[in-house]
Amino acid sequence: MLKSIEQVASVAGMLWEKGWAERNGGNITVNVTDELDEEFRSLGPIAGPFATGVRLSHLKGMYFYCKGTGKRMRDLAADPMANGSIIRICDDCTSYEIIAQQPVMPTSELPSHLTLHNYLIGNGYAYKASLHTHPIELVAMSHCDKYLDSTYLTRLLWSMIPETLAFAPLGIGVVPYALPGSVSLAEATLRQIEAHDVVLWEKHGTVAVGTDIMDAFDQTDVLNKAAMIYMTSRNMGFEPDGMTPEAVREVREVFNLPDRRR
Ligand code: 2HA
Ligand code: ZN
């Protein structure tokens, strides 16, 4: 099995363990094009073509592993090729075919995921993986207006523990509620991921991109950990003081943290 798909299986197991992946919740896509040999590339489709609903001008002929729609992360952890499939983006850049291993239809959030990959490749980034999941504490916070302000939420999370800023220096973007799987959700996500490490979908979940799926998981985990510390403090009956703005600034300077994607 491809290394990146083995890693998907281990992340899927962690998502289930964390309680972020009830039933078929969440989805994963990974660009596996560079890992495939000539023999695989010569394989014809086993299903399709199917429309993506979006134009993907930079993804022509590329291959993606996608979690299957309706499939469970915990099942994917045990058998990724029975609970997901490898698709190829057709030459028209608007449809895809399923190449392997079984005709498992990809994730319902395919437009969001592929739009992100298309943007990232088009802008020369090395990101290969995209993760959508339902982290409990961040989703809970997204039910309150106050936390839907991305600048406010980011500063709050950064101030919980220095590592949050160190590993999520672009912070968290927020997308107002939109129908799961919709093209409008995909477009709003794209606008936020340009400037943030992770995007929070109001009353739904998060999206992160990474050089591999473990990286996308870590981005989400770091920010959700800060949300957990905040909520634990609130549960203990106090509003956490948070690191001072000076302390946060010092971390940014000492670690020479970027303020935009690179
Ligand atoms: O794939 O989480 O948003 C199930 C979902 C859709
Ligand atoms: Zn979801």
The answer to whether the CB of 180 is under 6 A from ligand 1 is: yes
For 8-24, what is the mean pLDDT? 98
What Cα–Cα distance (Å) separates residue 169 from each residue in 61, 136, 177, 197?
Answer: 33, 22, 24, 7
Whether pTM exceeds 0.95: yes
Locus of tokens 């994607």: 261
What Cα–Cα distance (Å) separates residue 253 from each residue in 197, 223, 249?
Answer: 18, 20, 6
Read off the pLDDT of residues 109-165 as tens digits, 9 standing for 90 and up: 898 899 999 999 999 999 999 999 999 999 999 999 999 999 999 999 999 999 999
Residue 262 has pLDDT above 80, yes or no: no
Instruction: Work out the mean pLDDT of the chain and round it to a whole number.
Output: 97
Return the best residue to mutate from 22, 23, 27 for the ligand 1 pocket (most ligand atoms within 8 A of CB): 27
The answer to whether the CB of 31 is under 6 A from ligand 1 is: no
Ligand 1: nearest atom to the Cα of 132: 2
How far is it, in rounded angstroms, from Cα 107 to Cα 181?
Answer: 9
The answer to whether the CB of 182 is under 6 A from ligand 1 is: no
Say whether the peptide bond before residue 101 is cis (omega within 30 degrees of 0).
yes
Q: Which residues are catalytic?
A: 109
In the reported structure, the alpha carbon of residue 205 is separated from the centroid of ligand 1 by a whole-number distance in angstroms of: 9
What pLDDT was estimated at residue 232? 98
Read off the pLDDT of residues 169-226 as tens digits, 9 standing for 90 and up: 999 999 999 999 888 999 999 999 999 999 999 999 999 999 999 999 999 999 999 9
Strands (E), the chain: 27-31, 47-51, 63-67, 84-89, 95-100, 129-133, 172-175, 198-201, 205-210
Ligand 1: nearest atom to the Cα of 70: 1
The answer to whether the CB of 70 is under 6 A from ligand 1 is: no
- With beta carbons less than 8 A apart as the criterion, state whether 7 and 212 touch: yes
Return the best residue to mutate from 24, 199, 200 for the ligand 1 pocket (most ligand atoms within 8 A of CB): 24
Read off the pLDDT of residues 64-110 as tens digits, 9 standing for 90 and up: 999 999 999 999 999 999 999 999 999 999 999 999 999 999 998 89
The answer to whether the CB of 24 is under 6 A from ligand 1 is: yes
- With beta carbons less than 8 A apart as the criterion, state whether 129 and 22 touch: no
In the reported structure, the alpha carbon of residue 113 is separated from the centroid of ligand 1 by a whole-number distance in angstroms of: 11
What pLDDT was estimated at residue 247? 97
Grade residue 260 by pLDDT with cuts at 50, 70 and 90: confident
